[in-house]
A and B are shown apart, each in its own frame.
Chain A
Amino acid sequence: MGKLTYNMRKYWPLYVMALPGTLYFILFKYIPLGGSVIAFQDYSVFKGINGSPWVGFKHFTSLFEYPDFYRVLRNTLVMGFLRVTFMFAVPLILALMINEIRHSLMKKGVQTALYIPHFLSWVIIAGIAFEMTSLSGLVNTVRGWFGLESMLYMQMESYFRPIFVLTGLWKDAGWGTIIYLAALSGINPQLYEAAVVDGASRLKQILYITFPMILPTAAILFLLDIGNFMELGFEQVYNLLTPMTYSVGDIFDTYVFRTGIQQAQYSFATAVGLFQAVVGMVLVIVFNKLSKKYSNGGLW
């Protein structure tokens, strides 16, 4: 305790600087966390948290008893797996590739071109996807050149998940490279120089210097991401979904929107959110353990 006050006195500007951030987390993250209790109530906005009756696990039971629960769970898990795999691997590979571009103007150009889609909203990107795959769209025009029949991909079950992955990558893969590129620029050039002296080719340099050096960053990003495993991004799926693809694309986020938010069933929505968060937390803990065991680094 004595040490803390000593430190606080000595480095007080640091503590003052940390204050707004701490306040932010307390005000906007920890206090609202207390609101999660409404998952165990029949919350009514007119009665408030104090006046609403407690109902125990009722909302969790009704979630698990929902006739389509397994469909929603399956879709969420499959799509979560696809997202984590691709959104982890592709930006990493992309960053390694961009890093090898030697011409600096070219490098900047490529980077910028890859970032831009990140700033478009899902409504627009989904609109582009629907437009491109329409009968008069780019994809079907090209198919026409090869004498193939037109296909309406957006209403075909088997193409929903690939489209989900592709649009996700197009929008965010470039953005995901930023942190990797920052980490890459921090690698000591002497390592490469030594390797060149030892006669290592470019590929060997990537394999034995770049890759191992970037791995801890990758592990941390992966751990941060896995916590959101169940939250796939409502906007993306919602905007791509049609009744024809419900069976492969209906996930917890769209389900909660439909049943909880739109119907003002806040207790139920909170219960589902809590369920997702618990799954995410378990995954983070498990993977953090694994990471510490095999790569001596983790979040904590």
Chain B
Amino acid sequence: MRKKLFILLLTVLMVAVLAVGCSSGEEIGQNYNGTNNDSSEGETGEEEIVDIEVWSVNEGFKEIDSGSPLYEFIVDEIGVGVISPYVEWNGGKGYTNQLNMRIAAGEMPDMFLPYNGIEYDLAKNGAIEDLTDLLPEYAPNLWELIPDEVWDTVRTNDPTGEGRIYYIPAIRDYGITGGMIRQDWIDKLGLEMPTTQEEYVDVLRAFKNEDPNGNGMQDEIPTGGRENGRWMDHLFAMYGIAMFEGFPDWDIYDGELTNSAVTQNMRDALEFISELYAEGLIDQETFLNDKQAWDGKINSGLVGSYFHWTETVYDRLPQIEAGTGVKADLPVLPVPKVPGYEGFYSHEPTLGPQWVVKSGMEEEKLMATMKFLDNYANQENWEDMYYGVEGMHHKIIDGKRVLLPEDKSTQQVMDVIKAYNHFSLIDFKSNLLMEAVGEEQMEYVEQGIRNMEENQKYVKVIAGNGMPESVYNDYPDIRSNMIYQEYATKIILGEYPIEKFDEFVDRWYETGGEEVTQRARDWYDKLEK
């Protein structure tokens, strides 16, 4: 009898646990809504604060939850409550997964960064708001911040073909990436800034063999890049290859819009780079370097020439100095001349979509979203948004705000309000940098600003700029550059002879490149009109 009672008790307990487990989700939801109501009720007399849920990039920082310091900061600054739950970014893959899942469950965030061309299907199905009439009226700051020709591109990208605006693009008014080179090494070895490919290779060779860092060891890495053949665009740039952070891009080749991956330019570039690799002038671990590993090599002063945002030298120089005691000089590398080619660093003034807004929201929420967009695009707020919350993102020293070092365990994610990154304007950035720093960092920042300006001499806006991701729909291997990366890395490593490049071109077209190219050209024709 006793045993039976025990079994009964156990069963009841199990069922109870099960029941609690199943309903806990609901409870969280209720709490969540509950706090919303509380906060809005509490502030009677003042303007009512409406919360919106916003998703964007978060590479490991803390979420923005209701009532947290950054939440309050955004309420003060923008007048809208922003909730941004933690979503693992993981190179965009984790984010896409979770976002797709939420959309499939009918729980789309109110406003979010679309990724991987997801906005195409959403707009087609009426799941995101048509912003054409809303923005000029309710978010004039944003409307005017983005140039008309960029809005035209966005209209061309409307999947319904009616020229409506479904997303807010990110923009850059200056070419942000370029090659860089250690001028102090060049000077030390009594060389000159290279202007041609031949001279550049000679300089790299000298970096490797003549011990420019003077430690008696041959540990210098003349140049290199990262895994998947990324972030070594400077080696491709001299062949006139359109490329975005290592992804081949679209430009006019032989009079027609073509993906640079399948051009003669690419073939020649790969042949050249494979020679560099064979001679040991490229980091032998290039294709195994993740961001951390490659940044580590640059920042510890081992790398002679690399490709990245030219302005961020202000971040690298102090690290190089701290590690090696050398005051480095890292100017922009003028694109080395190659006979028969017109080299340039690719510049994309219109980046992909930054925000889309859920359709069918309550009036109140929609207006809050518009208010967010308007105030966030207001440049008067940008400086405050740059510094974030006092005590968390910056501290005040001698009456001046100083950014605290990045700390993912204590800082809340700022990307949602980083308008100055979503809409990169050279004037704002250089002013901000100049004002932001103290005396001791001035020399580094000056190099950064010099690079920003200098780099504009070598950049070119590529023809495929602003093309929607949707041209790749149904052809994921083309979109992900998988075939390109496989052949490019193997050719560079010398595992494939350059003749294999022709096989790659065939395979690329076979796997969907044909169709994608057609779509891209159709898009381009439409844009030209």
Contacts and interface: CB of A to CB of B under 8 A. Distances in A.
Does B bind A? Answer: yes
A134 B288 contact: yes
Interface in A13-59: 13, 16-17, 20, 23, 44-46
Categorize the interface residue count of chain A: 20 to 34
Interface in A239-294: 242-244, 246-247, 258-259, 261-264, 266
A67 interface: yes
A16 B18 CA distance: 14
Contacts of B510: 67
A173 interface: no
Nearest to B479: A263
A262 B125 contact: no
A67 B493 contact: no
Contacts of B96: 262
Contacts of A266: 104
Given A13-B4, A13-B11, A20-B15, A258 B477 contact: yes
A67 B510 CA distance: 8
B284 A152 contact: yes
Given A258-B477, A262-B116, A242 B285 contact: no
Given A20-B18, A247-B486, A263 B116 contact: yes
Contacts of A45: 103-104, 106
B225 to A, nearest CB: 13
Given A244-B495, A262-B96, A17 B288 contact: no
Nearest to A14: B7
A65 to B, nearest CB: 11
Nearest to B287: A155
B108 to A, nearest CB: 10
B145 interface: no
Contact of A259 (B93, B97, B476, B489): B476
Contacts of B118: 264
A interface: dominant SS: helix
B116 A243 contact: no
A232 interface: no
A35 B480 CA distance: 28
Interface residues of B, number: 44
Contacts of B14: 17, 20
A20 B13 CA distance: 11
Contacts of A44: 121, 125
B392 interface: no
B100 interface: yes
B153 interface: no
A67 B100 contact: no
Contact of B288 (A68, A150, A155, A261): A155
A130 interface: yes
Interface in A128-150: 130, 134-135, 150
A242 B11 contact: no
B127 interface: yes
A243 B229 contact: yes
Nearest to B510: A67
A154 B489 CA distance: 13
Contact of A244 (B15, B285, B489): B489
Given A46-B125, A266-B104, A130 B4 contact: no
A179 to B, nearest CB: 25
Contacts of A68: 477, 511
Name the residue in B10, B228, B477 with the highest tally of chain A Cβ atoms < 10 Å from its Cβ: B477
Contacts of A259: 476-477
A45 B10 CA distance: 41
Contacts of B476: 258-259, 262-263
A243 B485 contact: yes
Interface string A145-172: 0000010101101000000000000000
A243 B493 CA distance: 12
A67 to B, nearest CB: 5
A98 B59 CA distance: 44
B8 interface: yes
Contact of B482 (A23, A130, A243, A261): A243
Contacts of A154: 288
Interface of B: 4, 7-8, 10-11, 14-15, 18, 93, 96-97, 100, 103-104, 106, 116, 118, 121, 125-127, 227-229, 284-285, 287-288, 473, 476-477, 479-480, 482, 485-486, 488-490, 493, 495, 507, 510-511
Given A45-B104, A266-B104, 4 more contacts: A13-B7, A44-B125, A46-B127, A243-B229
Nearest 9 CB-CB pairs, A to B? A243-B485, A46-B125, A45-B104, A259-B476, A13-B7, A264-B100, A243-B486, A243-B489, A246-B486
18 contacts: A20-B15, A45-B104, A45-B106, A46-B125, A130-B288, A134-B288, A152-B285, A154-B288, A243-B287, A243-B486, A244-B486, A244-B495, A259-B477, A262-B93, A262-B96, A262-B116, A263-B476, A263-B479
Interface of A: 13, 16-17, 20, 23, 44-46, 67-68, 130, 134-135, 150, 152, 154-155, 157, 242-244, 246-247, 258-259, 261-264, 266
